[in-house]
Amino acid sequence: MARELQEAATAEPVTQERFGRFYTQELINRGGMAEIWLVADSRGKPYALRKLNDRLRFNLLARRRFLRGCEVLSKINESDYVVGYVEHGRQGGTLYMVMDYIEAANLKELFAQHDPVLTENVAQILIDMALGLSHVHESGFMHLDFKPENVLVTRNGNVRLIDFDLAQPIPEKPKKMSKNPGTPGYMAPEQLQQKPIDPRADIFSYGVAAYELLTNQKPFPGETPSEILAAQMDTSGPMSPREHNADIPAVLEKVILKCIAHDPDKRYPFMSVLVRDLQSALYV
């Protein structure tokens, strides 16, 4: 979904059409799974409408994932750090979800463009990403696809987490998932090995994203899942973030390295503890 939800500056204007109780305004972006439209209600209030692509209408896996993302977001309590849910359903046979409209770009794009919004707000972005993920966990779910592409950042540096298509309820104890989707570069070793997982897999993903944001490098490089896993399993561990960027405070480096520990038991047990240490490290 992250590739789909972009700034309206790149949108394609279209003739207004009715979609349920909404009126289409602009096609914001088209991705592999869905299209994102800027729509408005009868009062002119803007929203983001996500529609499953027509070519996937009869793809059962795609439909299940799309619906899961809708249902999970609908159950996550309202938060300043998670995109707001409005409604979801079917319209003319098309699965859709309506969310709050946010003029933002994803973190991956901003990072690639060396956008000053990152350098000016990096400490708060790191904390807000953690607060968003902590809120998702407190709502009873694991994200399981946390990565820069799924973090929206506004021009003011405000953060919203998106894309819950792969999310799962938090199990009582680590649970092996029947499928192993995700983005290998941000997946925890236990995910890549298809071992039982719990929310500490998200903590690992957060650590990888934070490491990359601060150093412009991935801690575990590789072109394939097996190469990435081999780097994760290397007993020498990743290069310390401060070797890439000496401006990173030592206490922040310690926090990040704890997030990306190979052994889940050596990571933070809960996102709330990570948030506390981040706030302390960054004096926020």
Distance CA 213, CA 244 (A): 11
Distance CA 182, CA 187 (A): 7
Distance CA 124, CA 117 (A): 11
Active site residue ranges: 145
Give the number of C-alpha atoms closer than 13 A to the C-alpha of residue 79, restricted to the C-beta side: 24
Which residues have a Cβ under 8 Å from the Cβ of 273 and sit 6 or more positions away?
none
Q: Which of 26, 21, 31, 22 is nearest to 53 (CA)?
A: 31
Tokens at 42, concatenated: 């009868």
Side chain identity at residue 221, one-letter code: P
Indicate the burial class of 200 (C-beta count within 10 angstroms; 0-12, 13-18, 19 or more). Answer: buried
Side chain identity at residue 273, one-letter code: V
